[in-house]
């Protein structure tokens, strides 16, 4: 049932992205409105899938990679819609939606069975740690998209669209600032949870180590914002590197031996 609902959401996100692409060139409001309505409907189906999973599992749906990716994709959409409302940067919509589609498609390949909670996961810290981290990941995803578009425009038609380029750079900075805070909260709460579960605040587990590396990359980005000589293009590339580190932290380190 959940997979069916997720597939409906996937179809909605795909239609939203495809219908919006022509709007980038034709500026027809009908296409934009259709895309927006479809995205909201897809998000509604996505929300229902999470709620059903929660009800079926009888615990927060955050205890497997499948569940966390479903929530991660949902947070990306919610964060993007808030950003679009505040900053009017709808140019990002097809790219953000493409990442959501890839995330949900990857989740559909994972084991979606509901398993009993391990003793270490039976903690109130679970929700705080995972949700804080995923919110940070969602903000970093938005910063990644804005940075990629910034780099593309800078190399192309930047002289003709200075306000758009400037807004993308500013958005990347603001979303990284927020993501940095939420990732820090995720690392701190994870350390407290680790001490309760395993008796140690920090064990240099691969997941912990790469989370710290990712956090430090974004710390360098924020510091570079105030360093004379660090052009916006360099910061944009650093945001891209940070996101690649984030993806490895989230998915790649699962291939390495560790506690996570």
User: Which tokens hold the place of 24?
Assistant: 């980038």
For residues 135 and 204, state if they share a domain: yes
Assess contact for 171 and 83: CB atoms under 8 A.
yes
For residues 140 and 246, state if they share a domain: yes
For residues 234 and 200, state if they share a domain: yes
pLDDT (0 to 100) of residue 97: 96
For residues 100 and 32, state if they share a domain: yes
The pLDDT confidence band at residue 155, using thresholds 50, 70 and 90, is: low
For residues 125 and 89, state if they share a domain: no
229-249 mean pLDDT: 90
Assess contact for 104 and 44: CB atoms under 8 A.
no
For residues 161 and 259, state if they share a domain: yes
Q: Domain count for the chain, please give it.
A: 2
pLDDT in tens, 209-223: 899 999 999 999 999
pLDDT in tens, 34-58: 889 999 999 999 999 999 999 888 8
Does residue 119 carry a pLDDT above 70?
Answer: no
Please give the helix or strand (H or E) that residue 59 lies within, else none: none
User: Which tokens hold the place of 226?
Assistant: 């105030």
Pick the last residue of a domain from 116, 146, 165: 116
Q: How many beta carbons lie within 10 A of that of residue 135, not counting itself?
A: 22
For residues 182 and 259, state if they share a domain: yes
For residues 61 and 132, state if they share a domain: no
Assess contact for 260 and 253: CB atoms under 8 A.
yes
Pick the last residue of a domain from 65, 94, 116: 116
Assess contact for 36 and 13: CB atoms under 8 A.
no
Pick the last residue of a domain from 116, 143, 162: 116
Q: How far is CA 201 from CA 193, 196, 221, in A?
A: 8, 8, 27
For residues 187 and 154, state if they share a domain: yes
For residues 125 and 208, state if they share a domain: yes
For residues 12 and 74, state if they share a domain: yes
- Alpha carbon 15 to its chain centroid, in Å, reads 20
Report d(CA 236, CA 143) in Å as an integer. 9
Task: Pick the more confident residue, 102 or 24.
Answer: 102
Does residue 110 carry a pLDDT above 80?
Answer: yes
Domain holding 29, by residue range, is 1-116
Does residue 185 carry a pLDDT above 90?
Answer: yes
Report d(CA 23, CA 259) in Å as an integer. 47
For residues 259 and 132, state if they share a domain: yes
């Amino acid at each position: 049932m959940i997979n069916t609902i997720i597939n409906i959401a996937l179809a909605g996100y795909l239609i939203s992205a495809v219908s919006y692409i022509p709007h980038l060139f034709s500026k027809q409001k009908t296409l934009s409105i259709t895309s927006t309505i479809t995205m909201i409907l897809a998000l509604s189906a996505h929300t229902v899938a999470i709620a059903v999973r929660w009800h079926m599992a009888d615990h927060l749906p955050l205890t497997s990679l499948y569940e966390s990716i479903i929530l991660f994709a949902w947070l990306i959409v919610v964060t993007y819609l808030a950003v679009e409302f505040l900053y009017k940067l709808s140019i990002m919509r097809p790219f953000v939606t493409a990442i959501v589609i890839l995330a949900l498609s990857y989740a559909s390949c994972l084991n979606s069975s509901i398993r009993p909670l391990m003793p270490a996961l039976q903690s109130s810290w679970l929700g705080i740690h995972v949700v804080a981290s995923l919110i940070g990941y969602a903000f970093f995803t938005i910063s990644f998209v804005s940075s990629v578009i910034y780099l593309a425009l800078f190399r192309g038609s930047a002289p003709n669209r200075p306000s758009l380029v400037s807004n993308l750079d500013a958005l990347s900075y603001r979303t990284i600032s927020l993501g940095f805070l939420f990732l820090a909260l995720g690392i701190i709460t994870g350390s407290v949870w680790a001490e309760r579960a395993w008796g140690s605040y920090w064990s240099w587990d691969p997941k912990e180590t790469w989370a710290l590396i990712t956090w430090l990359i974004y710390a360098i980005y924020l510091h570079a914002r105030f360093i004379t000589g660090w052009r916006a293009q360099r910061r944009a590339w650093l945001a891209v590197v940070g996101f690649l580190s984030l993806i490895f932290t989230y998915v790649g380190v699962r291939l390495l031996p560790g506690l996570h």
